Structure formats: C-alpha cells, structure tokens
Amino acid sequence: MDVVYYSGGNSGYFDTNIMEFNRFVGEGHFNPTWWIKYIELSRQIFGSKIIRACCGENALDDKTLYIVRQQAHFTSYVEDYVKLVNSNVKKVHNFPVRIFHSTEMVKNTSMLYFTEITDLKRNVKLITVVSHMVFINRATRRPTPLPQQLKHVVNNGHTSVLNTIQPIQDPLIEPPRQTKLFKWSRKISLLDTDYNGHANNSVFFTIPLQCLGIAIENKFSPTLKESIHDYAIEKYCLKIVKECHIGQVITATM
C-alpha cells in the first residue's frame, strides 16, 4: 500500500497495486473477487475513522455497523483489466489501483457507504459499490440512532458523490427474465461482524463475487446453488434484488 489519504471529512482513499492482491492467490493469477478484501479494508480504515472523528473515540465502543444490502456495478473495463493483468503476471506492480471510500446519506439509524475502485494507469473506473449500513446497539441487538454530529458532517458536506443515488425501496422488483440467476441460502447473524469488519462479514460479498467471476469466465452460462443475499447478475453488473433482516434465515436467488 503506497498512499493512504483521509480528508478529515466523510471520505478517504488508498492506493495499492496488483502485487498486493496476489498475496491471496497462487502463481500470480488475479481474480476480481479479491477486490472485496480491499473494499472491506477501506470500510475498516475510513468508515470507523469518520465516525470517531465526528463523534469521539468512544462512539463505537458499544455499537456496530451491520450491512443489510450491497450493490455493485462492474464497468466494461473489468474483463479487459483482468486479462491484461493475467497476461503480465511478472509485471503486476505496473497495475496500480485506487480504492476510494465515502460515507453518505446518514439517516436516523442507517447510512450508505460508497466505494469506488479506479485503474490509475488508464484512469478508468472498474467497480462501484454501495453498502447499506444499519447502526446497531450491541446490548439490545436493535437499530439505534446515529449521532447528530455525523449527520451534520456527512449530509451537509460538499464532497458527496451519491446525490443521484436513492436507497432501494421494498418491495423490490424481480430481475428481468433474460437475467441469469444463481441460488443459495445462509443464516445471517449480527455476530458475524463488528465495526472493524472482523469475523464473517466478507462472506456477504465474497460468494456472489466468486459466482460473478465464474459467470464471466463461462460467458454467464453456469447455474450455481450456494448462499446469502438476493442478487441478479447482468453483464458486468452484480445487483441485489432483495433484502435480508438481522438474524433471519433467507433463501437467496442469484
């Protein structure tokens, strides 16, 4: 990791390169599913930092942030990027990326996290992720109001990047008939994660991203049965189409 920058407001970013990603895989082979590790890392670095900067070091001592929904959009550059990196495995350090994080749209007990990964060499966006978070009291296991200071800093800031994005409203529409679907189910528990993203929180996104990787490799033809959220795959796009509730056992369609 070469650069870590925090604005002091609601956003920050860090720069890294593909060599860092290859710590997770063998023989230098790169797979976009590993980006989730860095998306989670950006949330750990900047998400809690922003809350603590606004509300004090003890603001998260008895609270946690729980992901109830994530949306991701893969641009048309992703497939070319993966092919390019994998064809130059001995020069992986030549493929720097920037992971940008912003805390957005703070409401009573929920808010949005925005993450964007950019190919710095070509200056093109690769993936955009929006995470819908709920602020939880650890003792009662129920949603609790977010601090007013955080609402003021985030909602009145001039660095907002999500002014045109609105939260998904239930009931959610079904995916188009032509969309390839993959299905799985898993029990989601509040204890899966804490505000640092420890435990099994990355499972939320890792499994569907792995499915996406397989789908890309097979030109979106496979049928899989696994577990966690409801997603629909479109070309270069992973979109959640249904929300789960804390502690609920759900059957997801992807």
Distance CA 54, CA 2 (A): 26
Residues 56, 60, 62, 68, Cα dihedral to 10° = 150
Distance CA 141, CA 191 (A): 9
pLDDT (tens digit per residue) in 138-166: 677 677 888 888 888 887 765 444 444 34
Is the pTM for the entire model greater than 0.75? no
The residue ranking higher by pLDDT, 100 or 14, is 100
**21, 34 contact by CB (below 8 A):** yes
Mean pLDDT of 89-97: 68
Least confident of 43-57, 150-164, 170-184: 170-184
Rg from Cα positions in the chain: 18
Single-letter code of the amino acid located at 130: V
Residues 6+ apart with CB under 8 A from 31: 25, 82, 213
Give, as one character, the DSSP assignment of residue 244. Answer: -
For 233, the 3-state DSSP assignment is strand
For the chain, domains (ranges, CATH) are 3-253 (3.10.129.10)
pLDDT at 56 over 50: yes
